[in-house]
Protein backbone atom coordinates (compact mmCIF):
# COMPACT_ATOMS: atom_id res chain seq x y z
CA UNK A 1 0.00 0.00 0.00
CA UNK A 2 1.17 3.55 -0.78
CA UNK A 3 2.62 5.28 2.31
CA UNK A 4 1.19 8.57 3.54
CA UNK A 5 3.31 11.06 5.45
CA UNK A 6 2.23 14.34 7.04
CA UNK A 7 4.03 17.63 7.57
CA UNK A 8 3.25 20.67 9.71
CA UNK A 9 4.99 23.97 10.49
CA UNK A 10 4.73 25.21 14.09
CA UNK A 11 5.80 28.23 16.15
CA UNK A 12 6.74 31.62 14.71
CA UNK A 13 7.23 31.53 10.94
CA UNK A 14 10.63 32.05 9.36
CA UNK A 15 12.14 32.25 5.87
CA UNK A 16 12.80 28.80 4.39
CA UNK A 17 9.69 26.97 5.64
CA UNK A 18 8.32 26.70 2.12
CA UNK A 19 11.65 25.35 0.89
CA UNK A 20 11.32 22.54 3.45
CA UNK A 21 7.70 21.77 2.49
CA UNK A 22 8.62 21.71 -1.20
CA UNK A 23 11.61 19.43 -0.62
CA UNK A 24 9.60 17.02 1.53
CA UNK A 25 6.85 16.77 -1.10
CA UNK A 26 9.17 16.43 -4.08
CA UNK A 27 11.44 13.91 -2.43
CA UNK A 28 8.57 11.83 -0.96
CA UNK A 29 6.70 11.75 -4.27
CA UNK A 30 9.57 11.58 -6.76
CA UNK A 31 11.91 9.27 -4.83
CA UNK A 32 9.40 7.05 -3.02
CA UNK A 33 6.00 7.54 -4.67
CA UNK A 34 4.44 8.37 -1.28
CA UNK A 35 1.40 10.54 -0.60
CA UNK A 36 1.98 13.75 1.42
CA UNK A 37 -0.58 15.69 3.41
CA UNK A 38 -0.05 19.09 5.00
CA UNK A 39 -1.55 19.85 8.43
CA UNK A 40 -2.69 23.46 8.69
CA UNK A 41 -1.61 25.94 11.38
CA UNK A 42 0.81 23.70 13.26
CA UNK A 43 -0.55 21.29 15.89
CA UNK A 44 -3.71 23.44 15.97
CA UNK A 45 -4.73 21.63 12.77
CA UNK A 46 -4.94 18.34 14.67
CA UNK A 47 -7.22 19.66 17.43
CA UNK A 48 -10.99 19.33 16.93
CA UNK A 49 -11.87 18.60 13.31
CA UNK A 50 -8.51 18.09 11.57
CA UNK A 51 -7.55 20.70 9.02
CA UNK A 52 -5.28 19.40 6.30
CA UNK A 53 -4.73 19.32 2.55
CA UNK A 54 -3.17 17.12 -0.09
CA UNK A 55 0.32 18.19 -1.12
CA UNK A 56 1.60 17.06 -4.50
CA UNK A 57 4.37 18.59 -6.62
CA UNK A 58 1.85 20.92 -8.29
CA UNK A 59 0.75 22.25 -4.87
CA UNK A 60 4.32 23.29 -4.01
CA UNK A 61 5.24 24.74 -7.38
CA UNK A 62 6.81 28.21 -7.23
CA UNK A 63 7.03 28.44 -3.44
CA UNK A 64 10.82 28.20 -3.01
CA UNK A 65 11.39 31.99 -2.89
CA UNK A 66 8.28 32.70 -0.80
CA UNK A 67 8.56 33.69 2.87
CA UNK A 68 6.17 32.43 5.55
CA UNK A 69 4.57 29.00 5.25
CA UNK A 70 1.86 27.91 2.83
CA UNK A 71 0.51 25.64 5.60
CA UNK A 72 0.04 28.41 8.15
CA UNK A 73 1.41 28.18 11.66
CA UNK A 74 0.61 29.02 15.25
CA UNK A 75 2.74 29.78 18.27
CA UNK A 76 -0.26 29.56 20.60
CA UNK A 77 -1.58 26.04 19.95
CA UNK A 78 0.40 23.84 22.34
CA UNK A 79 -1.71 20.64 22.62
CA UNK A 80 -0.17 19.93 26.04
CA UNK A 81 -1.57 23.21 27.38
CA UNK A 82 -4.33 24.14 24.99
CA UNK A 83 -6.46 27.23 25.69
CA UNK A 84 -10.12 26.30 26.07
CA UNK A 85 -12.92 28.68 27.03
CA UNK A 86 -15.93 27.17 28.79
CA UNK A 87 -18.75 29.12 30.48
CA UNK A 88 -16.78 32.32 29.90
CA UNK A 89 -13.75 30.93 31.74
CA UNK A 90 -10.42 30.25 30.01
CA UNK A 91 -8.11 27.44 31.08
CA UNK A 92 -5.30 25.33 29.62
CA UNK A 93 -6.04 21.64 29.01
CA UNK A 94 -3.99 18.71 27.66
CA UNK A 95 -5.48 17.70 24.30
CA UNK A 96 -2.51 15.59 23.16
CA UNK A 97 -4.51 12.31 23.13
CA UNK A 98 -7.00 13.93 20.74
CA UNK A 99 -4.10 15.04 18.51
CA UNK A 100 -2.70 11.48 18.42
CA UNK A 101 -6.16 10.04 17.61
CA UNK A 102 -6.78 12.60 14.86
CA UNK A 103 -3.37 11.91 13.37
CA UNK A 104 -3.96 8.15 13.20
CA UNK A 105 -7.43 8.74 11.75
CA UNK A 106 -5.81 10.54 8.82
CA UNK A 107 -4.04 7.29 7.95
CA UNK A 108 -0.58 8.86 8.06
CA UNK A 109 2.50 6.76 8.94
CA UNK A 110 4.70 9.56 10.22
CA UNK A 111 4.68 13.30 10.89
CA UNK A 112 7.41 15.77 10.05
CA UNK A 113 7.25 18.66 12.53
CA UNK A 114 9.10 21.77 11.40
CA UNK A 115 9.61 24.10 14.33
CA UNK A 116 11.68 25.61 17.10
CA UNK A 117 12.19 24.34 20.64
CA UNK A 118 8.47 24.70 21.56
CA UNK A 119 7.25 22.67 18.56
CA UNK A 120 9.98 20.06 18.93
CA UNK A 121 9.25 19.59 22.66
CA UNK A 122 5.64 18.86 21.70
CA UNK A 123 6.92 16.48 18.99
CA UNK A 124 9.00 14.59 21.57
CA UNK A 125 5.96 14.12 23.82
CA UNK A 126 3.78 12.97 20.93
CA UNK A 127 6.50 10.54 19.82
CA UNK A 128 6.36 9.04 23.34
CA UNK A 129 2.58 8.73 22.88
CA UNK A 130 2.99 6.63 19.75
CA UNK A 131 3.12 9.19 16.94
CA UNK A 132 6.16 8.51 14.71
CA UNK A 133 7.86 11.91 14.47
CA UNK A 134 10.78 13.50 12.68
CA UNK A 135 11.80 17.07 13.59
CA UNK A 136 13.30 19.83 11.45
CA UNK A 137 14.92 22.76 13.31
CA UNK A 138 13.57 26.15 12.34
CA UNK A 139 13.97 29.55 13.97
CA UNK A 140 15.48 32.92 13.25
CA UNK A 141 16.76 32.87 16.86
CA UNK A 142 19.28 30.03 16.17
CA UNK A 143 18.78 28.85 19.76
CA UNK A 144 18.43 25.09 19.10
CA UNK A 145 21.17 22.75 20.21
CA UNK A 146 22.75 19.89 18.22
CA UNK A 147 22.75 21.78 14.93
CA UNK A 148 25.36 24.31 13.84
CA UNK A 149 22.56 26.52 12.63
CA UNK A 150 18.78 26.55 12.15
CA UNK A 151 17.33 27.60 8.82
CA UNK A 152 15.82 31.11 8.83
CA UNK A 153 18.65 32.54 10.89
CA UNK A 154 20.86 33.41 7.92
CA UNK A 155 18.06 35.42 6.29
CA UNK A 156 17.29 37.29 9.53
CA UNK A 157 20.96 38.24 9.97
CA UNK A 158 20.95 39.50 6.38
CA UNK A 159 17.85 41.65 6.98
CA UNK A 160 19.31 43.19 10.15
CA UNK A 161 22.69 43.78 8.48
CA UNK A 162 21.03 45.64 5.63
CA UNK A 163 19.08 47.73 8.14
CA UNK A 164 22.31 48.58 9.99
CA UNK A 165 23.98 49.64 6.75
CA UNK A 166 21.04 51.94 6.02
CA UNK A 167 20.94 53.33 9.56
CA UNK A 168 24.65 54.14 9.44
CA UNK A 169 24.22 56.78 6.76
CA UNK A 170 21.37 58.60 8.49
CA UNK A 171 22.99 58.30 11.95
CA UNK A 172 26.21 59.77 10.60
CA UNK A 173 24.47 62.62 8.78
CA UNK A 174 22.58 63.69 11.92
CA UNK A 175 25.33 62.88 14.46
CA UNK A 176 22.88 60.71 16.34
CA UNK A 177 22.93 57.53 18.31
CA UNK A 178 20.74 54.86 16.73
CA UNK A 179 19.56 52.05 18.98
CA UNK A 180 18.36 49.03 16.98
CA UNK A 181 16.34 46.43 18.88
CA UNK A 182 16.42 42.97 17.32
CA UNK A 183 14.71 39.64 18.01
CA UNK A 184 16.23 36.46 19.41
CA UNK A 185 14.47 35.89 22.74
CA UNK A 186 17.08 34.70 25.25
CA UNK A 187 19.72 34.12 22.58
CA UNK A 188 21.90 36.96 21.29
CA UNK A 189 22.95 35.35 18.00
CA UNK A 190 21.05 37.73 15.71
CA UNK A 191 22.37 40.78 17.58
CA UNK A 192 25.96 39.54 17.68
CA UNK A 193 26.35 38.33 14.10
CA UNK A 194 24.41 41.15 12.45
CA UNK A 195 26.21 43.62 14.70
CA UNK A 196 29.52 42.21 13.50
CA UNK A 197 28.45 42.21 9.85
CA UNK A 198 26.85 45.66 10.09
CA UNK A 199 29.75 47.24 12.00
CA UNK A 200 27.85 48.15 15.16
CA UNK A 201 29.68 50.09 17.86
CA UNK A 202 27.88 48.49 20.79
CA UNK A 203 26.12 45.09 20.90
CA UNK A 204 24.05 44.12 23.93
CA UNK A 205 23.16 40.46 24.40
CA UNK A 206 21.00 38.52 26.89
CA UNK A 207 24.06 36.38 27.68
CA UNK A 208 26.08 39.39 28.92
CA UNK A 209 24.14 41.58 31.40
CA UNK A 210 25.30 45.06 30.48
CA UNK A 211 26.73 48.02 32.39
CA UNK A 212 25.32 51.31 31.12
CA UNK A 213 28.60 53.02 32.04
CA UNK A 214 30.44 50.78 29.57
CA UNK A 215 27.97 51.82 26.84
CA UNK A 216 28.31 55.53 27.71
CA UNK A 217 32.12 55.21 27.74
CA UNK A 218 32.14 53.65 24.28
CA UNK A 219 29.95 56.40 22.79
CA UNK A 220 32.04 59.10 24.41
CA UNK A 221 35.35 57.63 23.22
CA UNK A 222 34.02 57.58 19.67
CA UNK A 223 33.08 61.25 19.95
CA UNK A 224 36.55 62.10 21.26
CA UNK A 225 37.98 60.40 18.19
CA UNK A 226 35.74 62.39 15.84
CA UNK A 227 32.85 59.92 15.30
CA UNK A 228 29.79 61.83 16.44
CA UNK A 229 27.37 58.99 15.78
CA UNK A 230 27.04 55.47 17.15
CA UNK A 231 25.08 52.37 16.22
CA UNK A 232 23.90 50.21 19.10
CA UNK A 233 22.34 46.79 18.50
CA UNK A 234 20.27 45.54 21.43
CA UNK A 235 18.86 42.05 21.58
CA UNK A 236 15.25 42.06 22.85
CA UNK A 237 16.28 39.78 25.75
CA UNK A 238 19.26 41.92 26.88
CA UNK A 239 19.10 43.48 30.33
CA UNK A 240 21.25 45.70 32.58
CA UNK A 241 23.40 43.97 35.21
CA UNK A 242 21.42 45.82 37.88
CA UNK A 243 18.03 45.31 36.23
CA UNK A 244 15.88 42.82 34.40
CA UNK A 245 14.44 41.91 31.01
CA UNK A 246 11.77 44.24 29.60
CA UNK A 247 8.64 42.18 29.13
CA UNK A 248 5.64 43.48 27.18
CA UNK A 249 3.37 40.59 28.16
CA UNK A 250 4.03 37.98 30.85
CA UNK A 251 3.83 34.26 29.99
CA UNK A 252 0.60 34.00 32.03
CA UNK A 253 -1.02 36.83 30.07
CA UNK A 254 0.20 35.47 26.71
CA UNK A 255 -0.73 31.75 26.68
CA UNK A 256 2.56 30.55 28.13
CA UNK A 257 4.92 32.62 25.97
CA UNK A 258 6.58 35.75 27.36
CA UNK A 259 6.53 38.62 24.86
CA UNK A 260 9.75 40.63 25.05
CA UNK A 261 10.31 44.17 23.80
CA UNK A 262 11.20 47.65 25.01
CA UNK A 263 14.85 47.34 26.06
CA UNK A 264 15.87 49.51 23.08
CA UNK A 265 13.70 52.35 24.35
CA UNK A 266 15.21 51.98 27.82
CA UNK A 267 18.80 52.13 26.53
CA UNK A 268 18.01 55.10 24.25
CA UNK A 269 16.35 56.97 27.12
CA UNK A 270 19.40 56.50 29.35
CA UNK A 271 21.80 57.66 26.63
CA UNK A 272 19.90 60.83 25.79
CA UNK A 273 19.36 61.62 29.48
CA UNK A 274 22.89 60.90 30.72
CA UNK A 275 24.91 62.04 27.70
CA UNK A 276 22.55 64.64 26.21
CA UNK A 277 22.97 63.11 22.72
CA UNK A 278 20.07 62.94 20.28
CA UNK A 279 19.07 59.28 20.13
CA UNK A 280 16.54 57.31 18.08
CA UNK A 281 15.18 53.79 18.46
CA UNK A 282 14.40 51.38 15.63
CA UNK A 283 12.58 48.18 16.52
CA UNK A 284 13.00 45.86 13.55
CA UNK A 285 10.38 43.39 14.80
CA UNK A 286 8.75 40.94 12.41
CA UNK A 287 10.52 42.41 9.37
CA UNK A 288 13.33 40.08 10.48
CA UNK A 289 11.10 37.05 9.96
CA UNK A 290 9.24 37.98 6.82
CA UNK A 291 10.06 37.90 3.14
CA UNK A 292 12.12 35.81 0.82
CA UNK A 293 14.71 33.36 2.23
CA UNK A 294 18.41 33.76 1.44
CA UNK A 295 20.01 31.20 -0.91
CA UNK A 296 21.65 29.61 2.16
CA UNK A 297 18.26 29.06 3.86
CA UNK A 298 16.64 27.79 0.65
CA UNK A 299 19.38 25.19 0.28
CA UNK A 300 19.56 24.24 3.97
CA UNK A 301 15.74 23.97 4.21
CA UNK A 302 15.71 21.76 1.11
CA UNK A 303 18.47 19.49 2.46
CA UNK A 304 16.71 19.22 5.83
CA UNK A 305 13.44 18.27 4.10
CA UNK A 306 15.13 15.55 2.02
CA UNK A 307 16.92 14.12 5.08
CA UNK A 308 13.64 14.02 7.02
CA UNK A 309 12.07 11.92 4.25
CA UNK A 310 15.13 9.63 4.28
CA UNK A 311 14.69 9.14 8.05
CA UNK A 312 11.06 8.09 7.54
CA UNK A 313 12.14 5.69 4.78
CA UNK A 314 14.58 4.16 7.28
CA UNK A 315 11.87 4.23 10.03
CA UNK A 316 14.19 6.26 12.28
CA UNK A 317 11.75 8.21 14.43
CA UNK A 318 12.16 10.61 17.35
CA UNK A 319 15.06 12.17 15.42
CA UNK A 320 15.78 15.76 14.36
CA UNK A 321 17.78 16.61 11.26
CA UNK A 322 20.76 18.87 11.88
CA UNK A 323 23.72 20.55 10.20
CA UNK A 324 27.18 19.58 11.48
CA UNK A 325 29.99 21.22 9.59
CA UNK A 326 29.01 20.71 5.95
CA UNK A 327 27.02 17.52 6.57
CA UNK A 328 23.31 17.08 7.25
CA UNK A 329 23.00 14.49 10.03
CA UNK A 330 20.31 13.43 12.52
CA UNK A 331 20.18 13.57 16.33
CA UNK A 332 17.73 12.68 19.12
CA UNK A 333 14.99 15.35 19.35
CA UNK A 334 15.45 15.24 23.15
CA UNK A 335 19.12 16.19 22.94
CA UNK A 336 18.25 19.25 20.88
CA UNK A 337 15.54 20.67 23.12
CA UNK A 338 16.74 19.99 26.66
CA UNK A 339 18.54 23.34 26.84
CA UNK A 340 19.03 26.37 24.60
CA UNK A 341 21.97 27.14 22.34
CA UNK A 342 23.19 30.48 23.65
CA UNK A 343 26.13 32.75 22.83
CA UNK A 344 29.20 31.91 24.91
CA UNK A 345 30.23 35.19 26.60
CA UNK A 346 33.83 33.92 26.63
CA UNK A 347 33.71 32.32 23.20
CA UNK A 348 35.57 33.18 20.02
CA UNK A 349 32.71 35.17 18.45
CA UNK A 350 32.23 37.48 21.43
CA UNK A 351 36.03 37.79 21.60
CA UNK A 352 36.17 38.72 17.91
CA UNK A 353 33.66 41.52 18.48
CA UNK A 354 35.72 42.95 21.33
CA UNK A 355 38.96 42.56 19.37
CA UNK A 356 37.35 44.79 16.73
CA UNK A 357 36.65 47.43 19.38
CA UNK A 358 32.92 46.69 19.69
CA UNK A 359 31.58 47.25 23.22
CA UNK A 360 29.56 44.32 24.58
CA UNK A 361 28.45 46.33 27.60
CA UNK A 362 31.04 44.94 30.04
O1 LIG B 1 11.15 32.84 18.11
C2 LIG B 1 11.07 33.70 17.04
C3 LIG B 1 10.62 35.04 17.47
O4 LIG B 1 10.57 35.85 16.32
C5 LIG B 1 11.44 35.68 18.58
O6 LIG B 1 12.66 36.19 18.13
C7 LIG B 1 10.48 36.71 19.11
O8 LIG B 1 10.70 37.01 20.46
C9 LIG B 1 9.14 36.02 18.96
O10 LIG B 1 9.29 35.01 17.99
C11 LIG B 1 8.01 36.93 18.57
O12 LIG B 1 6.84 36.19 18.57
P13 LIG B 1 5.42 36.71 18.03
O14 LIG B 1 5.36 36.34 16.59
O15 LIG B 1 4.45 35.95 18.85
O16 LIG B 1 5.38 38.18 18.22
Q: What confidence score (pLDDT) does residue 89 get?
A: 85
- Ordered by where they begin, the domains of the chain are 4-151+293-325 (3.40.50.450), 157-289+344-355 (3.40.50.460)
- Whether 190 is in the pocket of ligand 1, judged by its Cβ within 6 Å, is no
CA distance linking residue 273 with residue 241, whole number of Å: 19
Indicate whether 86 pLDDT > 90: no
Residue 178 near residue 236 (C-beta atoms within 8 A): no
CA distance linking residue 88 with residue 216, whole number of Å: 51
Q: Is 16 left (phi over 0), alpha (psi -120 to 50) or beta?
A: left
Q: What confidence score (pLDDT) does residue 108 get?
A: 96
- Whether 75 is in the pocket of ligand 1, judged by its Cβ within 6 Å, is yes
| Helix and strand counts by DSSP (H, E) for the chain | 11, 15
Q: What confidence score (pLDDT) does residue 64 get?
A: 98
Residue 199 Cα to ligand 1 middle (Å): 25
Indicate whether 174 pLDDT > 90: yes
pLDDT tens per residue across span 274-329: 999 999 999 999 999 999 999 999 999 999 999 999 999 999 999 999 999 999 99
- Model confidence band, residue 256 (pLDDT cutoffs 50, 70, 90): confident
**Out of 41, 141, 143, 201, which one is annotated catalytic?**
141
- Whether 139 is in the pocket of ligand 1, judged by its Cβ within 6 Å, is yes
- Whether 237 is in the pocket of ligand 1, judged by its Cβ within 6 Å, is no
* Alpha-carbon dihedral angle through residues 69, 70, 74, 79, given to the nearest 10 degrees: -120
Reply yes or no on whether 141 is catalytic: yes
Q: What confidence score (pLDDT) does residue 91 get?
A: 85
pLDDT tens per residue across span 227-236: 999 999 999 9
Q: What confidence score (pLDDT) does residue 246 get?
A: 96
Q: What confidence score (pLDDT) does residue 254 get?
A: 81
Q: Which long-range contacts (CB under 8 A, 24 or more apart) does 65-68 make?
A: 65/292, 65/293, 65/298, 66/18, 66/292, 67/13, 67/15, 67/18, 67/289, 67/290, 67/291, 67/292, 67/293, 68/13, 68/17, 68/18, 68/290
- Whether 235 is in the pocket of ligand 1, judged by its Cβ within 6 Å, is no
The per-residue pLDDT of the chain, averaged, comes to: 96
Q: What confidence score (pLDDT) does residue 46 get?
A: 97
Instruction: For residues 163-182, give the mean pLDDT.
Output: 98
* Ligand 1 pocket test, candidate residues 76, 141, 262, 341, most atoms within 8 A of CB: 141
* Ligand 1 pocket test, candidate residues 137, 182, 183, most atoms within 8 A of CB: 183
Q: What confidence score (pLDDT) does residue 300 get?
A: 98
Closest ligand 1 atom number to CA of residue 261: 8
Residue 8 Cα to ligand 1 middle (Å): 18
Closest ligand 1 atom number to CA of residue 11: 1
Q: What confidence score (pLDDT) does residue 153 get?
A: 98
- Whether 138 is in the pocket of ligand 1, judged by its Cβ within 6 Å, is no
The residue ranges of DSSP E strands in 87-142, in sequence order, are: 89-93, 110-115, 133-137
SS3 (DSSP) at 131? coil
Q: What confidence score (pLDDT) does residue 191 get?
A: 98
Q: What confidence score (pLDDT) does residue 83 get?
A: 85
Q: How far does CA 189 lie from the centroid of its chain? A: 10
pLDDT tens per residue across span 136-170: 999 999 999 999 999 999 999 999 999 999 999 99
pLDDT tens per residue across span 111-128: 999 999 999 999 999 999
Amino acid sequence: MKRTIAILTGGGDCPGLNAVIRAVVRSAVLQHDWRVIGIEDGFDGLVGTPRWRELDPAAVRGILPRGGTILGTSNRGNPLAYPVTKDGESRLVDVSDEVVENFHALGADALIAVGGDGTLKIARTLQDKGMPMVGIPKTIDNDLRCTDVTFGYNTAVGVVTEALDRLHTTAESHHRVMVVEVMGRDAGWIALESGLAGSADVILLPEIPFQLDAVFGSIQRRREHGSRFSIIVVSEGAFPAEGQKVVQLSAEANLGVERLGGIGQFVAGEISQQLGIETRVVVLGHVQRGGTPSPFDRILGSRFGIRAVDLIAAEKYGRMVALRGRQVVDVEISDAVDSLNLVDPDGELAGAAEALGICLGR
